[in-house]
Amino acid sequence: MDKLIKILIKIAASRPAALSLVTLLLFVFSLVCLTAAFHTALASLAGAWGAKEYSHGYFIPVLALLIGWHRLAERKPPVAPSWAGPWVLAGAGALLLMGQLSAFEPPTYYAFVVALVGLGLSVCGRSAMMTLAPAFAYLLFAIPLPRLIYVALSADFQLMSSHMGSAFLDMLGIPVYQAGNIIDLGDFKLQVEEACDGLRYLFPLMSFGFLVGFLIDGAMWKRVAIFLSSIPIAIFMNALRIAMIGVAVHVWGIGMARGFQHTFEGWAVFMLCILLMLGESRLLMWGGDFFRYHYFGPAQGPFFSGSFTAKPPVWAAAAVALAMACLFTNGIASTAPDIVPFHPPLASFPMHIGAWQGQPRHLSDAELDALHLDDYVMADYTRAGKNGESGTPVNFYIAWYDNQHTKNAAHSPSNCIPGSGWLVKASGTKTVATPQGTLRVARLVIQRGDDTRLVYYWFDERGRDMVSQYSAKWFLFWDALTLHRTDGAAVRVVTPVTSNNPAAADARLAAFLSAVYPDMGVFVPGK
């Protein structure tokens, strides 16, 4: 192999044309290796684009390619392969490894963009990467937000849209009463759910605002203003859409909030958002500013000044890319850790614990398909004759995973609950006393219509009890490296809030956890 490389270098040194061919072959080889290394992340990313919030993701790579093509043709940066490139590539590999071992997908998406930057630095150099910076920045709009951040944004946008939509209806003289995300029109009630939070407008509109701002040849403040305006436009127009639905329901009935009419209203309002942004950009284009329409067609002329040479950074980048392909397709990062501690089947979890009597419950097939868990227990426990609360249930749930990876890992209830139509009214943490000491849990008060419930949850990760999903991901990565274990569990308890008395619900869950926690240690193994 060493002799072959030396021969290729001699050929390249004596024949510039052959040298360019060698560089091209090394670039293509490295790109193929990176695609192989990131194939799981890329497939997952393409799947995420199937969601309506991110459906614009399919167009962004094409548009980014056009942006990069024209930027290179206009500026023709010099070719100067940089040793920073292989190091950036290695950093992308470390980020990919962390994402895979921690079962946290967003780092793997960003790692691919970082890997492309590293390859570009290795082959073309710093000047070329600075020229291509807008194209790489635009690629970031194709990457979904981490679910935890998305859920927090969604909850805020739902409430904001409900407030503004109700205000618009009130201005139109339609009697309306708003309670959280419920808009009461008297005969009908509209619930502003996650699908109506406005993020389906915000994410594609922000990517469109970035594109429009970039393509305007004008002052920077105008371009920034166009991009930032996408946020208030999306919020305002989504609230207007909710008000339009409210008017239609008030006049023609609840059927206007479902089916084709609902979908058509969504598309119509989004097109209005686009027209507003285009109109805004037209108003700001004064004093000789123009729109670079030619970016939507092919560029003319060479991309670089100078000639390519297969310098050592190019070869080093190819070697790093090959190592990443071997590691992530057939190496340790692609195989699950094989150490899975023994634990009794959760189906044998006791249904009688002290004064508590349990009734088993079961997840649906659809829920099991979505969760990808290896074992679970779910039961409703009641305690008779305690403070007049006979029959008030506590739903207890443990989801166990033998190995956690990007497609099967413990889900945070804070992510799943809003997706089920519940509104999170309050969130925080709480310390509960158990026979083994204190237990810190995440605490949520959730509401759907007139139904209010109290939720405690935490992650039991190889003997560590944690409330932060990000802490759980970090220790998952660390334990995978040091212990060769990624097993773990998510634990959740839920009880109704009766008589508008959260304190009684807190006391009920604390009493239940004090009774059940010792048995959990048998079924969820620690270190």
Same domain, 359 and 464: yes
The amino acid sitting at 198 is: G
Q: Which has the closest alpha carbon to 122: 82, 88, 72?
A: 82
As for how many domains the chain has, the answer is: 3
Q: For residue 332, what pLDDT is reported?
A: 52
Give the residue ranges of the chain where pLDDT is below 50.
1, 3-5, 7-19, 195, 334, 388
Angle, CA 405 vertex, CA 399 and CA 409 arms, to 5°: 20
* Residue 56 included in any domain: yes
* Alpha-helix residue ranges (DSSP H) falling in 286-412: 312-330, 365-371
Same domain, 168 and 244: yes
pLDDT digits 0-9 by tens, 242-274? 777 777 766 666 655 555 555 666 678 788 888
Same domain, 90 and 24: yes
Same domain, 8 and 59: yes
Q: For residue 421, what pLDDT is reported?
A: 64
* Residue 20 included in any domain: yes
φ and ψ of 78, to 5 deg: -70, 150
Report the alpha-carbon distance of residue 295 to residue 135 in Å, rounded. 12
SS3 category, 238: helix
Same domain, 491 and 416: yes
* Residue 453 included in any domain: yes
* Residue 103 included in any domain: yes
Cβ contacts of 407 within 8 Å, gap of 6 or more: 44, 372
Same domain, 188 and 273: yes
Same domain, 272 and 175: yes
Q: What is the chain's length?
A: 527
> With contact defined as beta carbons under 8 Å apart, do 86 and 316 qualify?
yes
Same domain, 507 and 388: yes
Domain that holds residue 237: 147-296
Same domain, 379 and 511: yes
Same domain, 370 and 503: yes
Same domain, 115 and 156: no
* Residue 26 included in any domain: yes
* Residue 339 included in any domain: no
> With contact defined as beta carbons under 8 Å apart, do 158 and 178 qualify?
no
How many alpha carbons lie under 13 Å from residue 456 in its C-beta half-sphere?
23
> With contact defined as beta carbons under 8 Å apart, do 434 and 514 qualify?
yes
Cβ contacts of 165 within 8 Å, gap of 6 or more: 183, 192, 239, 240, 241, 242, 243, 246
Helix (H) or strand (E) run with residue 167 in it: helix 147-171
Boundary-marking domain end, from 296, 326, 356: 296
Report the alpha-carbon distance of residue 340 to residue 404 in Å, rounded. 11
Q: Which two tokens stand for residue 404?
A: 């956690």
* Alpha-helix residue ranges (DSSP H) falling in 285-411: 312-330, 365-371
Same domain, 312 and 381: no
* Residue 340 included in any domain: no
Count Cβ neighbours within 10 Å for each residue of 150-181 and write b for 16 or more, e otherwise.
bbbbbbebbbbbbebbbebbeeeebebebebb
Count Cβ neighbours within 10 Å for each residue of 245-273 and write b for 16 or more, e otherwise.
bbbbbbeeeeebbeeeebeebbeebbeeb
Torsion angle of C-alpha atoms 235, 241, 244, 248, degrees rounded to 10:
-150
The residue behind tokens 């749930």 is 397
* Residue 341 included in any domain: no
pTM: 0.70
